[in-house]
Amino acid sequence: MHTALSQAIETLNQHILGKPHQLKLAVTCLLADGHLLIEDLPGMGKTTLSHALANVFGLGFSRIQFTSDLLPADMLGVNIYNTQQQRFEFHSGPIFSEVVLADEINRASPKTQSALLEAMEENQVSIDGTTHTLPTPFFVIATQNPAYQAGTYPLPESQLDRFLMRISLGYPDTEAEKAMLRQQTNTETKQVSDNKAIISPAQLTDWQHSVQHIHASEPILDYLLRLVQRSRDHAEFPYPLSPRATKALLRGAQAWAFLHNRDFVLPEDIQAVFTSIAEHRLRGSQTDYREDGLLSQRILDLTDPLAA
Amino acid sequence: MQQIDKPIRNQTASLLMACVFCILSISLFEPLLFWVLLIAICATVMRVVMYIGWYQPVPSPRTINLLGLLCCVCLVWFSFSIGLLLTMVNLLILAGALKLMLLDSPRDLFHLFCTSLFVIGIGFTFHQSFIMTLFYGLLTIALLVALARYFTPSQSLPWHTKRILTMGLQALPIAILLFLIVPKLPPLWKMPVAKSTETGLTDTVSPGDIASLTQSSELIFRATFEGPVPDPHERYWRAITLEHFDGKQWTVSPLRKQARQQYRLLNYEFNPKLSGSWWQYEVIAQPTNKHWLYGIDIAVPADHASDEMIWRGADYQILSESPLSTRRAYRLRSYPNADMSQTLESLDQRVNLQQPATTTLNPLTQQWAAEIAMRHPTVAARIQAVLNYFVAKGFTYTLTPPAMPDQPVDDFLFTHQQGFCSHYASAMAYALRLMDIPARMVAGYHGGETLQPGVLSVYQYDAHAWIEAWMGDRGWVRFDPTAVIAPQRIQFGIQQAVEEEAFLANNQLARLKQLPFLADLQILYSLMDYQWSRWVLGFDAQRQQNLLALLLGKVTGEKVTYLVLAIFGLIGLLLALYFIPHWRKQRVAPVQQWYHKAVAAVTRCTGQVRANRGPEAFANAVQSHLPASASAQFSALSEQYIQLQYKPKPQQHEEKAFVRHCRAFIRQISRQPAA
């Protein structure tokens, strides 16, 4: 593994204890130049994770707390009339930042949600006819509460598709939680978590380019297409995977391979990222996990990576 | 795993299936009870409403059970009047409709699919025409599309249609081959004969009846002549001989029926001596649920199969052994010049001199007949006198004569002097009987439209009646008074005869025929229907034998075996043609094949199943389970495999090396005892 990258993940692991796989997925998402949706209950470390990511990669960070009365202008920025210079000046909103944490995105009205998602897709914001480019890299981490919680507007399927990955942190095990408590009482170890950037933004952009050149052989593409096709051919999958999802899967697998210091994709890479990339697209707005397990896992179980 | 999907009620599959079921029920219009059809339509409307989303909840099974119970009680009540077969058909449609109301799970959908297929099968017992076959074929395709849509809802409707059509086309040659060679066994189970509304000729003919038949353009039969075709004026297709007259109506003589029964008991079939020229033809008769068949007198069966099904009566009538519940084909040979005096003269005389029991009916006719009889001593002269009377008094031919309810013959002969073929036949036969000449009425069809050279179609409107009189040595001689009054009726058919009367005034088909384009189309359709019934519906055991004989020369068991084997070979070849390209696409490259073999060997040795794991994950998982040397070898193999499959630019010779290594590995591991 690239030393800087492994160091970064190491640091992240010190912030969020006991969740190495989720952290790796988050970094993968960043490398794949996609946006991340974290779905979890309050207090599980969603905000901490995004803070840490921004810090470790040396990116500017801003946080938007989504509420039901948040307006698009609060987020994007406004033109204000400057009486001295007799012209409008643009005051950029919190979205003009490299890492944006959209906290509790499903508490905002659909109007505001779609303003954010538009910015995510276009990498630019248009206000009063002027187009303002967003910084690169631009990485949105949105968090949402499970849909069954009160006062939420669930994201529609079309917008869920914009997020490359959806991960869920989940409760830590007792061991990790104990370590966390110890961290809180022990001021010495807290020093470690004082962050400084380990990776420069330029380096990150460079890596994002290299991810695109990770080799995906013919059998890999076939396997990927078989997975996608299965979701389309069977009635048990209500929302089949779109071509955008196919692209996202490949990019995710490439990033995962890059993270593991390989210049080619293995079936294991696809399997590792498949659930976090495909599950929210397959489920649509039914965000509650049923007892019957994950739809994406079912597709994986039904498809042999080595079949011709 | 539980299936998560759109509810069935919102899927187009269920809507499509509901529509197909509804159309199917409507196509069975006649055999269905009205209220059953209504329930089927209601169920479809419910489905449409649910699909659109106006009203979502599916009715509870309790409601449907109650409705089902009520319907069953009703059906039992009706079953006494409609017979077993129709009750069963109604029950099936009813069950299908109730299932449609309840449709909420995939299981229901499959049930409905199977029921619909069965209903299509039932449809063929009621409709066998070419167009209905096409129609049911289309419905079958629609059903299959609905099923396909259920399984892959994300694809578009045209995609499904294309796929189903392709598969249907692929299946077609196989179906044709099987149709040709599968032995035509007699059915294990016979359809109970349906009670249906009767149209066409009946056992009883009163003069007005035939006129109403001319309003119908329903096909009665088609005849295919092998060799010469009779001229238009010779085409007297006999159906029933009517020998009993009660003053108003002609019916089959009870005495004749009795005689026929006795003959049948003795198995004594009328077997006249035949002479002169003959016409040979095949008749494909439409179902009538009657016993009588059509033929030009004297008609005898032309082959063994026809002989089996035909009973020849002494009144030259030919009867089928079982009522015509479906289309039936038979071959006849007709001898128009044969001696017609070979019947039992005494019986014929007795039956055909019968007069109405009440002598008060038609007094004028009785008087008139007595006068003629006095003036003319010979039979021929008397007959001629009657015919002359028709011409001299200016009788006219019309389809819409005034009603003559009380004294039908008197009114016709002396008051109105206009009428239809059955009026003339009835009056003449009665008059001749009054003059002591045995005479009888024959009902049947006259004429026929030429469909193509040698093929005649006879429609309901060709219905006709004429008489036969016994003339001493010559036996029965045919007289057609209509030919005297309206010769064009006999020469050119009824359309010419009554053109000014707006023939078939309320008949759509006839009106359409006036447009040349539509007339062509109608002829084209008739041709197709004819070919269909001749070659497909008429393909029975006999024709199958003929075909085999044509193919094999002399039919022997050995040759048949070879032929059947050859055909199955052909079917296998076709299937191979369809599937091999698909399999070739899926064929495994040697590298993969050998890797799979190696994995299988590892599984045998360690009991670890790969279960959709990638090569690297599997190698890691089995490492600790394999013996040390084998473990290193397998790791190396996996490494190579990854190299070949997933890394850029694999080399050809590396593939060969890989295969070699795999062989070596498998050899080695199989030598070791299982862990």
Contact B4 A286 (CB under 8 A): yes
Is B421 an active-site residue? Answer: yes
- Using a CB-CB cut-off of 8 Å, the residues of chain B touching A290 are 2, 4
Output the average pLDDT for chain A: 84
Q: B457's torsion region: left (phi>0), alpha (psi -120 to 50) or beta?
A: beta
**CA atoms of B523 and B532, how far apart (whole Å):** 14
A193-231 residue pLDDT tens: 456 778 888 888 889 999 999 999 888 999 999 999 988
Contact A290 B587 (CB under 8 A): no
Does B521 fall in a domain?
A: no
Does B142 fall in a domain?
A: yes
At B98 the pLDDT is: 92
Output the average pLDDT for chain B: 82
Q: Which whole-number Å values give the CA distances from B282 to B168, B180, B229, B305, in the listed order?
A: 33, 21, 12, 12
At A170 the pLDDT is: 83
Q: Chain B: give the shortest CA distance to residue A115, in Å.
A: 29
Which of A215, A234, A304 shows the shortest C-beta gap to B647? A215
Contact A268 B595 (CB under 8 A): no
* B73 & B142 share domain: yes
* B284 & B356 share domain: yes
More confident residue, B113 or B341: B113
The answer to whether A238 contacts chain B (CB < 8 Å) is yes
Q: Chain B: give the shortest CA distance to residue A74, in Å.
A: 38
At A288 the pLDDT is: 53
More confident residue, B194 or A242: A242
Q: Provide the pLDDT confidence category of residue B451 given band limits of 50, 70 and 90.
A: confident
* B216 & B142 share domain: no
* B370 & B224 share domain: yes
The answer to whether A63 contacts chain B (CB < 8 Å) is no
Per-residue pLDDT, averaged over B276-286, amounts to 86
- Using a CB-CB cut-off of 8 Å, the residues of chain B touching A295 are 4
**CA atoms of A303 and A231, how far apart (whole Å):** 11
Contact A308 B588 (CB under 8 A): yes
At B1 the pLDDT is: 31
The answer to whether A298 contacts chain B (CB < 8 Å) is yes
Q: In chain B, whose CA is at the least distance from the CA of A307?
A: B588
> Where in the sequence is the domain holding B100, given as residue range(s)?
8-154
At A253 the pLDDT is: 94
Number of domains in chain B: 3
Query: Residue A303 above 60 pLDDT?
Result: yes
Contact B5 A304 (CB under 8 A): no
**CA atoms of A163 and A280, how far apart (whole Å):** 9
Contact A305 B586 (CB under 8 A): no
A106-159 residue pLDDT tens: 888 888 888 888 888 888 888 878 888 888 888 888 888 776 666 777 787 777
Per-residue pLDDT, averaged over A150-174, amounts to 82
Q: Provide the pLDDT confidence category of residue B198 given band limits of 50, 70 and 90.
A: very low
Contact A268 B645 (CB under 8 A): no
ipTM of the complex: 0.80
At B195 the pLDDT is: 43
The answer to whether A284 contacts chain B (CB < 8 Å) is no
Does B334 fall in a domain?
A: yes
Contact B2 A304 (CB under 8 A): no
Q: Provide the pLDDT confidence category of residue B499 given band limits of 50, 70 and 90.
A: low
Does B23 fall in a domain?
A: yes
Query: Residue B69 above 90 pLDDT?
Result: yes
A-B CB pairs within 8 A amount to: 81
Q: Provide the pLDDT confidence category of residue B140 given band limits of 50, 70 and 90.
A: very high
Per-residue pLDDT, averaged over A155-168, amounts to 84
Q: Provide the pLDDT confidence category of residue B513 given band limits of 50, 70 and 90.
A: low
Q: Chain B: give the shortest CA distance to residue A293, in Å.
A: 8
More confident residue, B282 or B649: B282
Query: Residue B196 above 60 pLDDT?
Result: no
Does B70 fall in a domain?
A: yes
Q: Which whole-number Å values give the CA distances from B563 to B35, B177, B571, B595, in the listed order?
A: 52, 11, 12, 45
B205-217 residue pLDDT tens: 666 666 666 667 7
How many Cα atoms occupy the beta-carbon half-sphere of A160 within 13 Å?
26
Which of A237, A293, A303 shows the shortest C-beta gap to B612? A303
* B72 & B214 share domain: no
B352: Cβ–Cβ under 8 A, 6 or more apart, which residues?
B243, B433, B438, B439, B440, B470
Q: Which domain-ending residue is among B471, B486, B512?
A: B512
Angle at B652 between CA B650 and CA B658, to 5 degrees: 80
How many Cα atoms occupy the beta-carbon half-sphere of A302 within 13 Å?
17
Q: Residue B233, class by beta-carbon neighbours within 10 Å (0-12 exposed, 13-18 middle, 19+ buried)?
A: middle
Q: Provide the pLDDT confidence category of residue B164 given band limits of 50, 70 and 90.
A: very high
More confident residue, B546 or A269: A269
- Using a CB-CB cut-off of 8 Å, the residues of chain A touching B645 are 217, 219
Closest to B427 (Cα-Cα) out of B476, B368, B475: B368
Residue B119: other Cβ atoms inside 10 A:
21
At B502 the pLDDT is: 47
For residue B416, what is the DSSP state? I
* B30 & B129 share domain: yes
- The CA-based diameter of chain B, rounded to the nearest angstrom, is 132
The model carries a pTM of 0.56
* B274 & B380 share domain: yes
Written as one letter, the residue type at A264 is F
A57-103 residue pLDDT tens: 888 888 888 888 888 888 888 888 888 888 888 888 888 988 888 88
At B212 the pLDDT is: 67
Query: Residue B594 above 60 pLDDT?
Result: yes
The answer to whether A233 contacts chain B (CB < 8 Å) is yes
Q: Give phi and psi for A274, each to the nearest 5.
A: -60, -45
Contact B592 A217 (CB under 8 A): no
Per-residue pLDDT, averaged over B471-482, amounts to 84
Q: Percentages helix, strand, coil for chain B, rounded to the nearest 5?
A: 60, 10, 30
The answer to whether A306 contacts chain B (CB < 8 Å) is yes
Question: In chain A, what are the domains?
Answer: 3-184 (3.40.50.300), 201-302 (1.10.8.80)
B404: Cβ–Cβ under 8 A, 6 or more apart, which residues?
B207, B411, B412, B415, B416
At A25 the pLDDT is: 92
Does B194 fall in a domain?
A: no
Tell which of B1, B2, B4, B647 to mutate to test the A interface (max A CBs under 10 Å): B4
Q: State the catalytic residue, choosing from B421, B423, B446, B529.
A: B421
Question: 3-state SS string over A154-165?
Answer: CCCHHHHCCCCE
Lowest mean pLDDT of A201-215, B316-330, B380-394, B482-496, name the range. Answer: B482-496
Contact A266 B646 (CB under 8 A): yes
Does B376 fall in a domain?
A: yes
The answer to whether A224 contacts chain B (CB < 8 Å) is no
At B136 the pLDDT is: 94
Does B519 fall in a domain?
A: no
* B372 & B266 share domain: yes
Written as one letter, the residue type at B398 is T
Query: Residue B120 above 90 pLDDT?
Result: yes
Q: Provide the pLDDT confidence category of residue B497 given band limits of 50, 70 and 90.
A: low
Q: Which residue has the tokens 């509870």?
A: B60
* B270 & B365 share domain: yes
Is B480 an active-site residue? Answer: yes
Q: Which domain-ending residue is among B453, B481, B512?
A: B512
Query: Residue B507 above 60 pLDDT?
Result: no
* B149 & B241 share domain: no
Per-residue pLDDT, averaged over B578-583, amounts to 84
Pair B123, B28: CB distance under 8 Å: yes
Q: In chain B, whose CA is at the least distance from the CA of A265?
A: B646
Q: In chain B, whose CA is at the least distance from the CA of A301?
A: B612
Q: Which helix (H) or strand (E) holds A88?
A: strand A87-92
Q: Chain B: give the shortest CA distance to residue A229, in Å.
A: 10
At A287 the pLDDT is: 52
Q: Looking at B475-556, list the stretches that DSSP marks H as alpha helix, in order from N- to C-terminal side.
A: 481-485, 487-492, 494-497, 508-512, 516-531, 541-552
* B208 & B150 share domain: no
Q: State the catalytic residue, choosing from B209, B297, B464, B662.
A: B464
At B504 the pLDDT is: 47
Using a pLDDT cut of 70, give the percent of chain B over it.
89
At B303 the pLDDT is: 81
What single string gives the DSSP state of each residue in B192-241? PPPP----S--SEE-TTHHHHHTT---EEEEEEEES----GGG-EEEEEE
Which of B6, B152, B592 shows the shortest C-beta gap to A306? B592
Contact B5 A293 (CB under 8 A): no
Q: Which domain-ending residue is among B461, B483, B512?
A: B512
Q: Which residue has the tokens 């810090």?
A: A55
* B244 & B325 share domain: yes
Which of B151, B154, B587 shows the shortest C-beta gap to A308? B587
At B93 the pLDDT is: 93
At B584 the pLDDT is: 78
Contact A236 B1 (CB under 8 A): yes
Q: What is the CA radius of gyration of chain A?
A: 20
Per-residue pLDDT, averaged over A30-56, amounts to 86
Q: In chain B, whose CA is at the least distance from the CA of A299?
A: B612
**CA atoms of B165 and B627, how far apart (whole Å):** 56
B351-391 residue pLDDT tens: 888 888 877 788 888 888 888 888 888 888 888 888 888 88
At B265 the pLDDT is: 81
A213: Cβ–Cβ under 8 A, 6 or more apart, which residues?
none
Contact B614 A268 (CB under 8 A): yes
